[in-house]
Every structure is written in structure tokens, then in C-alpha cells.
Amino acid sequence: MSNAHLGVAPLPPQLAPHIVELDSLKEVVPPPAATDIPSTSTALPTAAPTASDPKIIDVVATLFVHIDVIHKDLIERIGLVHKRVDLIVECQEHDIKAVHDTFLALS
């Protein structure tokens, strides 16, 4: 069933799919070294960027903002789905009643 058939407006533009470009992470976190360390090795990994690195903090904060926006939009979309399901149920109940009434009239 379409939105028009159910009398439901299409999704608002702010609910468009979200795409987050995380290419900036390549600048923040260098790729791991090409050394092959066996799994039984007790060697510690090379120095990783610290959590206090401002770029990492900014990227993580930006990621959390995007996650929050996606979460809120998901909740809104779920609400819209519930409304659509309710409309479908109402339409089906109406159709079932109409068929039932028709059978009674023909009896």
C-alpha cells in the first residue's frame, strides 16, 4: 500500500539516509605497521595515539553527534511505521466489515 492510499504524508526530508564521511580518520590514525607479529608474541604494540589527542576527541565527538541524530530519526521513523500499521489495520477492519455486511445482505 502506498502512502497516498493510506492518507499518510511521505517521509520528511530530514529523515533522509545519513552518510558520515570518516575519511578524516585516515589522517588521525595511521595504518598499522606492516610488521608481522606472531600471535604468540609478547611484544607490545607500537605506540598508539593517546586518548587525549584533540583530533581523536573531535572525531569521537562528531561520531556521537551523528549517532544521536540517527537514533532520533530512527525513533521518529518507527513512530511513522506504527502509524502506517494502524492505518492498514483500520482499512482491513473496514474491508472485513464491508464483506461481512455484504454476505449478510445476500443471505
- Cell numbers at residue 107, please? 443471505
Nearest to 66 by CA among 24, 20, 11: 20
- Residue 95 belongs to a domain: yes
Note the pLDDT of residue 107: 83
- Residue 53 belongs to a domain: no
- Residue 42 belongs to a domain: no
> Within 10 A of 37 (CB to CB), how many other CB atoms are there?
13
Nearest to 92 by CA among 4, 2, 3, 6: 6
DSSP code of 43? P
Residue type, 67: I
From start to end of the chain, where are the E strands?
Answer: none
pTM: 0.43
* Domains contained in the chain, number: 1
Higher-pLDDT residue of 52, 95: 95
Question: What is the residue range of 81's domain?
Answer: 65-107
- Residue 78 belongs to a domain: yes
**pLDDT tens per residue, range 54-80:** 889 899 999 999 999 999 999 999 999
